[in-house]
Amino acid sequence: MRVRTESILPYSLLAPTLIFITLLIVVPIFQAFLLAFQTADGEFTLTQFEKMIADTSFADALKFTFLLLIFIVPAQVVLALVMALLIHTRFKGHTFFLYIYALPLAISDLAAGIVWLAIFTERGFLNSGLFQLGLLERPFLFLSYQNLPALFSTLIIAESWRATAIVMVILLAGLQVIPRDYFEAADVFGANTLKRTLFVVLPLLRPSLQNALIIRTIFAFQTFAVVLALAGRVIPVLTGEAYNWYALNRNANIAAAYSTLVLIFTVIATVVYFRLLRTSTAEAGFD
Amino acid sequence: MPSSRFILNRIFLYAVAIALAVWTLAPLYLIALAAFSTKEAVFQWPKLFLPTAFSTETMAFFVGSTGVLDSVKNSIIVALVTVVASLILGAPGGYALARFRFRGKDAIQLGFLISKMFPTAILSVPLAIAFLQMDLYDTLWGVALMHTAMALPFVIIVTAGIFVGVPRDLEEAAQTLGCNRLQAFWRVVMPLTIPGLAAAAIFTFVLSWNEVFAATILTLRNRTLPAQVLSGLSGSPLYYRYAGGFFMILPAVVFIFAIRKYLLNMWGNIVR
Amino acid sequence: MAGIQFQSIRKIFGKTLAANDVSLEIKDGEFMVLLGPSGCGKTTLLRCLAGLERVDGGRVLIGARDVTELAPRDRKIAMVFQSYAVFPHLTVFDNIAFGLQMQSRPRDEIKRRVEDGARLLELSDYLARYPAQLSGGQRQRVAVARAIVMQAAVLLMDEPLSNLDALLRLQMRAELKRLHQEIKATTIYVTHDQVEALSLGDRIAVMQNGRIVQCDAPMNIYDYPANKFVGGFIGTPPMNFLPGVVRVNEGKPIAAVGESHIAPSVALASALIEKNGQPILLGIRPENLALASAQHANTIRARVLVVEPLGSHKLLTVQVGAEISKVSVAPDQRVAPNDDVWLHFDPEKIRWMDAATGDAIHPG
């Protein structure tokens, strides 16, 4: 019967994906909750969370995860905004620069960590350069536990270098949706570049900005390999602790407790951003 | 004659553009320099910024290390399986979202967006336990399954964007000219979407090729390249890490450059 | 052969009835135009015939065959889309050959038929090109050629000219008419352009809100619109409607419009007697109004507001009581704004309508 196949078609096309995602995403999440909140006998418990909180690294992991978030996300957004606005002026050769700026999209956080390791390590390129310029007499230990601010800064630099590309591409895609009339109208009214950026472009770009913020915030909670590559276990982060508890300590329950915490933060951040997004899209007149 | 203010403006613009390009490219140059030198050069002080000590020694050491070649092979297999599986599973769904109006469509779309947001960490631990019971632990199939699940929401949203780009009229015209739905898809929609789908495939490949956390948690001996490098991070010499880092970056950068024209569209779609 | 029957077609989109119990019979070889404003259901009806839309009720017959449940490809139709829907990845040749290739025709037959079709539409020089290398008008020809080489008994066209510029549209309109005379396929042509409909159709079905309100030969539709909607939709400028009241004096009905009286044609008189005291509308086309220097029978006082010389005629905007009307007069007629004039109504050309329903009053 043709009538029936027509109405069922979209569902049957989507079914494989829905089943797959249910089995490999939805079910595991519930299992993770069970791991985190259940005893071996299947009773509800908070012991795993108590153990997690009592863990010596927990407070630091929490602190550093949020510190990273607070520094990385704004740094990426500002840098990406400069890149996107620059490209959007469509100067001669702008596509060439766009492709260069977008290259780090391809780079994993592990690889990014290693790249900056080569630069910040004791006999790395940064120390070599500063020495050859006569600014340093002997290598500065950027990656030492004795110099936490410096070590922490290297993380911010490495992550900004890597993930700015994603934010830039999102913002540029957003910029392209804004009708060019807006830019020209601003010109006619004599707005200079800075004023135009602040009062015309940014408000119109708010939906894209907030999308970029959501994506980057979610992934900032998952920062892990870049930290491991540059700081080892000196700077613990939440996802890194989940990894350690599972891969090194073979304790799936506490690993699950850590991941659940990351999930909770992710959900909170998303809800908060969605709230902000909803009010602002109405203001900006975008759908 | 352009005014001097205009010229100053241009000079400033290009200066910023070039500075940002240097910021992006210099680290890539330096890791290449570090990856292609002698073992001694890695510890040389001070380091030189020109490829004076060019050598394939560290690269050869890395490639020759136990498990590295296998892990490269594993990474390629996992990524290919992921690409094929996620496109075969996801593209029809993307087509459904692009072409049909049906009950629950908004909810399903929102579901895909949300499932993109779940941290890899929370999925990997229970899956590792489940895979242990199903004999999928430490197999490439297990990793590929996980990567496919991670890539599917992305693939479905991106392919929906690609299919929306083909006017419905074209398919209907083909239908009036003697095609059934499937023939209309193969003869008209496919040829028009091949470039976009190829770009999505390459992007999926890079996602899988780069994925660290799940690959490390789900394997023990059958490591993918990132898992191999990560698990040996603290115990391996610097030159091994440099070579490993470069080795991971190179194909990904080449691929991304190959699909550069599609990046804006893909990310434009994914956040909408 | 390949006549078409719509039998009580119903099609619902969400809560709107796009086709509300539509029945229509089209003769073999006829050129039928479905005309109406956007959203009237004309395209839906066409798509139901093509099989691109599933009907919610009723049957569709092509020839003697019930095709209601058939897929588009099994209906032996060919269609020209509003957007042309020319395949961008195929050359002009392959576009035109597409349907024939789907039928697995022999290669030399395909080549011959494609070349014939291309010649008919003056595309012979462009067969190797891709659509992106063609102008809009040429792409439109490819779409038409692609449909006619199928030699289907039924040819469907969905606003095929609406994306062309005015001059090209005029040219293609004549060409489509010539084509139809040549190939004689039963043609259903959807348009919102009443001039196209008048010029092309053997018959026109005027649609409104999912129903066919009138189906007749073009000049009948023009001269005898079934209701106010049809009269107002067809003609540039549209029909004028003047409100009046029926009065019967000594057994003879007249319409009182202001202080003037207009008499009906003899045929209509008996039907109007029953409407004594009821409000009516007098529908009259601008060219059926004439200027008179003094009051005669069937004249009404009016004041000229605007005079537009349009070359072949002058178009006047006049005020009649509280109503605004358009009058078309000869180009040499001497008339100026603010002139007070008498409008003469040709009684044979007046369409009397019930003011409440808008429907034309027919001889009793």
- Domain ranges across chain C: 4-227, 240-354
pLDDT given for residue A1 in this prediction? 33
Residue-level pLDDT at B1: 57
Task: Annotate B61-85 with DSSP letters as a single string.
Answer: HHHHSTTHHHHHHHHHHHHHHHHHH
Question: pLDDT by residue (tens digit) across C10-46?
Answer: 999 888 899 999 999 999 999 999 999 998 999 999 9
| Residues C36-57, mean pLDDT to the nearest whole number | 93
**Whether the predicted pLDDT of A4 surpasses 50:** no
So what's the pLDDT on residue A287? 31
Q: Which two tokens stand for residue B245?
A: 């880092």
pLDDT at A6: 64
**pLDDT of A140:** 86
Please give the pLDDT value at position C1: 56
pLDDT higher than 70, residue C310: yes
* Model confidence pLDDT, tens digit, residues C85-128: 999 999 999 999 999 999 999 999 999 999 999 999 999 999 99
**Which pLDDT belongs to residue B253?**
87
Which chain C residue has its CA at the smallest distance from B172's CA? C52
pLDDT at B228 (0 to 100): 92
Q: What span, in angstroms and rounded, lies between the C-alpha atoms of A171 and A163?
A: 13
CATH superfamily of B66-270: MetI-like (1.10.3720.10)
pLDDT band at B271 (very low <50, low <70, confident <90, very high): very low
SS (H, E, C) A101-142: HHHHHHCCHHHHHHHHHHHHCCCCHHHHHHHHCCCCCCCCCC
Farthest CA pair distance, chain C: 80
Per the structure, how many domains does chain A have?
1
Chain C closest-CA separation from residue B103 CA (Å): 12
In this predicted structure, the answer to whether residue B238 has a pLDDT above a threshold of 70 is yes
* DSSP characters over C26-53: E-TT-EEEEE-STTSSHHHHHHHHHTSS
For chain B, give the percent of residues with pLDDT over 70. 97
Given 3-state DSSP classes, what are the helix, strand and coil percentages for chain A, each rounded to the nearest 5? 80, 0, 20
Task: Tokens for A243, please give them.
Answer: 């990894």
Select the residue from C12, C46, C52 to test the B interface by mutation, using most B Cβ atoms within 10 A.
Answer: C52
CB C169 within 8 A of CB C159: no
pLDDT at residue B261, as a whole number: 79
C85 to B173: CB separation less than 8 angstroms, yes or no: yes
Across the range B60-89, mean pLDDT stands at 93
- Cβ burial, residue A231 (10 Å; 0-12/13-18/19+): buried
Length of chain C: 364
Specify if A27 maps to a domain: no
Q: Average pLDDT in the B223-232 region?
A: 91
Closest CA to C133 of B152, C203, C125: C125
User: Domain for residue A151, yes or no?
Assistant: yes
First-last CA distance in chain C: 38
Whether pLDDT at A285 is above 80 = no
- From chain C, the residues in CB contact with B174 under 8 A are 87, 98
What is the arithmetic mean of pLDDT over B247-257?
88
Q: Kindly indicate the confidence band of residue A190, based on its pLDDT and cuts at 50, 70 and 90.
A: low
How crowded is residue A150: how many other Cβ atoms within 10 Å of its Cβ? Answer: 14
Whether A14 is in a domain gets the answer: no
State what percent of residues in chain A have pLDDT above 90: 36
Q: Looking at residue A150, which CATH number applies to its domain?
A: 1.10.3720.10
Mean pLDDT of A85-101: 88
Q: Band the pLDDT of A186: cuts 50, 70, 90.
A: low
Most confident of A4-18, A267-281, C137-151: C137-151
Average pLDDT over residues B197-205: 91
* Mean pLDDT in residue range A191-199: 74
Determine which helix (DSSP H) or strand (DSSP E) holds C7, and give its type and residue range: strand C4-13
Asked if C142 and C84 count as a contact pair (C-beta separation under 8 A), the reply is yes
The answer to whether C132 faces chain A, any CB pair under 8 Å, is no
| Residue A194 covered by a domain | yes
Across the interface, of A16, A25, A260, the residue whose CB is closest to B89 is: A16
* Confidence bin at B120 (pLDDT 50/70/90): confident
The alpha carbon of residue A259 is apart from the nearest alpha carbon of chain C, in Å, by 45
Task: Encode pLDDT of C196-242 as tens digits.
Answer: 999 999 999 999 999 999 999 999 999 999 999 999 999 989 999 99
Alpha-carbon distance C20 to nearest alpha carbon in chain B (angstroms): 22
In this predicted structure, the answer to whether residue C289 has a pLDDT above a threshold of 70 is yes
CB B96, CB B109: distance < 8 Å:
no
CB contact (8 A) between residue B152 and residue A103 = no
**A59, B161 contact by CB (below 8 A):** no
* B150 contacts B214 by C-beta, under 8 angstroms: yes
Beta carbon pairs, B and C, within 8 Å = 57
| Total Cβ atoms within 10 A of residue A15 | 15
pLDDT of residue B258: 85
pLDDT value for B269: 54
Least confident of A102-106, B174-178, C44-48: A102-106
Neighbours of A (≥3 Cβ pairs closer than 8 A)? B, C
Judge whether residue A282 has pLDDT over 60. Answer: no
Lowest mean pLDDT among A153-162, A209-218, B10-19, C31-40: A209-218
pLDDT interval class at C362 (50, 70, 90): confident
Mean pLDDT of B62-70: 88
| Selection from C253, C353, C341, C245 nearest residue C289 by Cα | C341
Which residues share a beta bridge with C190? C34, C158
B105/A132 Cβ within 8 A: no
Rounded average pLDDT over B120-127: 87
How far apart are the CA of A48 and the nearest CA of chain B, in angstroms? Answer: 15
Q: Is the pLDDT of residue A250 over 90?
A: no
How is residue B215 written in tokens? 């690959």
Residue A194 has pLDDT above 80, yes or no: no
What pLDDT is attached to residue B272? 40
Task: List pLDDT tens digits, range A55-82.
Answer: 888 999 999 999 999 999 999 999 999 9
Say if residue A286's pLDDT is above 50: no
Nearest to B115 among A25, A82, A208 (CB): A25
Instruction: Please indicate if any CB of chain A lies within 8 Å of the CB of B263.
Output: yes
Average pLDDT over residues C260-285: 89
A-chain residues near C69 (CB < 8 A)? 2
C287 near C328, Cβ under 8 Å?
yes
More confident residue, B43 or C202: C202
User: Which range, A225-234, C47-56, C261-270, has the best average confidence (pLDDT)?
Assistant: C47-56
Is some CB atom of chain A closer than 8 A to the CB atom of B142? no
- Are the Cβ atoms of A91 and B14 closer than 8 angstroms? yes
CATH 3.40.50.300 fits C4-227, yes or no: yes
- Domain residue ranges in chain B: 4-59, 66-270
CATH of C240-354, one of 1.10.340.30, 2.60.130.10, 1.50.10.10, 2.40.50.140: 2.40.50.140
* Domain carrying residue A192: 57-113+141-284
**Average pLDDT of chain A?**
85
The β-bridge partners of C65 are: C62
Lowest mean pLDDT among A254-258, C14-18, C80-84: C14-18
Specify the pLDDT at position C219: 95
pLDDT band at B268 (very low <50, low <70, confident <90, very high): low
Contact state of C98 with B167 under an 8 Å Cβ cutoff: no
**Mean pLDDT for all residues in chain C:** 92
Range in A206-210, B96-100, C24-28, C326-330 with the lowest mean pLDDT:
A206-210
Distance from CA of C70 to the nearest CA of A (A): 8
